[in-house]
């Protein structure tokens, strides 16, 4: 987990942002760093994946220039709904 965050910090600091490969590498490192961090924090892989995907989608929207508070709230609502669906399904 720390290796992923260190790799992400190194990518941000040392690599030119103009390269399309750098953007893809940034998004990949960011997603996996979030995934392992939230999976550890929540002690649940499913919740870590849902949270990581929600933040990842919002980051992509921000990159495309359409990420705002309304989109964030909608994505958070979808993430909570998906978590509640799986939680009820397991009971």
How many domains is the chain partitioned into structurally? 1
Q: Quick one: pLDDT at residue 20?
A: 87
Q: How confident is the model over 8-19, as a mean pLDDT?
A: 93
Distance of CA 75 to the CA centre of its chain: 12
- Distance between CA 19 and CA 2 in Å, rounded? 25
Q: Quick one: pLDDT at residue 19?
A: 87
Q: pTM value?
A: 0.90
Could you tell me if 83 and 75 are in contact, meaning their C-beta atoms sit under 8 angstroms apart? no
- Both tokens of 37, joined, read 């961090």
Q: Quick one: pLDDT at residue 88?
A: 86
Q: Domain of 62?
A: 2-90
- Look at residue 51 and tell me whether its pLDDT is greater than 80: yes
Question: Taking the CA atoms of the chain, what radius of gyration do you get in angstroms?
Answer: 15
Q: How confident is the model over 41-63, as a mean pLDDT?
A: 96
Which tens digits make up the pLDDT trace of 58-84? 999 999 999 899 999 999 999 999 999
């Amino acid at each position: 987990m720390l290796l992923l965050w260190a790799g992400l910090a190194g990518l941000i600091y040392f690599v030119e942002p103009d390269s399309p490969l750098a953007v893809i590498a940034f998004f990949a490192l960011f997603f996996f760093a979030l995934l392992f961090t939230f999976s550890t924090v929540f002690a649940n892989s499913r919740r870590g994946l849902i949270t990581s995907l929600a933040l990842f989608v919002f980051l992509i929207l921000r990159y495309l220039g359409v990420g705002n508070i309304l989109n964030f709230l909608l994505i958070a609502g979808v993430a909570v709904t998906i978590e509640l669906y799986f939680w009820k399904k397991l009971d």
